[in-house]
Amino acid sequence: MLGLPIDMLLLLGGATVLAAMLQTATGIGFGLIAGPFVLMALQGRDAIEATALLSLLITLVLAPKLLPDVNRRDLVNLTIGCAVGLPVGLLIYLHADVLVLKLGAAALIVMVLGMTFFPVRPANAGGGTFERSGGVAAGVSAGVFGACLAMPGPVAAVFLVRRGRGKVAIRATMLTFFVFALGASLGLQIIVDGLSTRVLEVSALLAPACAVGLVIGHFAVKRVSEQAFLRLLQIVLAGTVISLLASSYSELVV
């Protein structure tokens, strides 16, 4: 299927299981982990649509059960910002080279990763206007990177971590937010670019791997402490940078 060699299919399947597991357990991770591998396999905008579609399916399964734990103020602020960022991300999606997108994403994630090592603020510090503007700004970033790379999570997740939100609230808020961020991104992409059979084929191919990762992540989330959650987030971000740079380097030397 898709004309891919067996080793690439196995790598893609393994990355998808890991990505779905992390998305389920932490609230982010699918686009960050699976996205670069899908890009390597499809080499084009189809990869972004397929990643967004699979990630959206995971969030639709998980989000309804998490609504009681959502921080509604954060969700509203992120959603407002995302609506502003989506058109910008769509323009980048339509006109930027995929290599440029991957390098830009790597640079962003390095910055975000560095921010996670600073002490978090108490949840009630700097509220009001500061909290609202920070959430909206994080939402703008989520909209831009959601539309152009199917990666709406990094800055939004770090904003919540830096605000001192607990892992339960972060996971619930992120996954609920993704219903809008990924749904709107994918909808805009389909309107302007269509939905190819390759997107449907790769999504169907990877759906079982998503299901396996979802089940593993469901059991893992109950055993992950607050500190381990932050460390896992850092590992996910670091691994993503390595994957993006490795993929970009392979394109540059070809």
How crowded is residue 102: how many other Cβ atoms within 10 Å of its Cβ? 21
The three-point CA angle 54-176-202 to 5° equals 0
The pLDDT of 69-87, averaged and rounded, is 95
Q: Pick from 9, 10, 21: which is nearest to 224 by CA?
A: 21
CB 128 within 8 A of CB 82: no
Percentage, residues of the chain above pLDDT 90: 39
Q: Give the C-alpha separation, 116 to 230, whole Å.
A: 8
* The dihedral sign for the CA sequence 252, 234, 63, 135: negative
List the structure tokens of 62.
């998980």
DSSP run (H or E) holding 210: helix 197-220
Q: DSSP for 106-139?
A: HHHHHHHHHHTTSPPPPTTTT-THHHHHHHHHHH
Q: Is 148 exposed, middle or buried (0-12, 13-18, 19+ CB in 10 A)?
A: buried
User: What is the DSSP code (8-state) at residue 250?
Assistant: H
CB 132 within 8 A of CB 91: no
CB 185 within 8 A of CB 91: no
Q: Is the residue at 172 inside a domain?
A: yes
What tens digit of pLDDT does each residue of 109-163 get? Answer: 787 788 777 755 554 545 556 567 889 999 999 999 899 889 898 888 888 887 8
136 or 248, higher pLDDT: 136
Cα-flanking dihedrals φ and ψ of residue 17, to 5°? -60, -50
- Mean per-residue pLDDT over the chain, rounded: 85
Q: Give the C-alpha separation, 117 to 123, whole Å.
A: 17
Percentage, residues of the chain above pLDDT 70: 91
- For residue 77, the model assigns a pLDDT of 94
Q: What's the domain count of the chain?
A: 1
Q: Is the residue at 1 inside a domain?
A: no
Q: Is the residue at 235 inside a domain?
A: yes
Q: Is the residue at 50 inside a domain?
A: yes
What tens digit of pLDDT does each residue of 161-171 get? Answer: 878 888 889 99
Q: Is the residue at 26 inside a domain?
A: yes
- For residue 162, the model assigns a pLDDT of 79
Q: Give the C-alpha separation, 74 to 155, whole Å.
A: 13
Q: 194's torsion region: left (phi>0), alpha (psi -120 to 50) or beta?
A: left
What tens digit of pLDDT does each residue of 206-216 get? Answer: 999 999 999 99
List the end-to-end C-alpha distance of the chain, in Å, as a whole number. 25
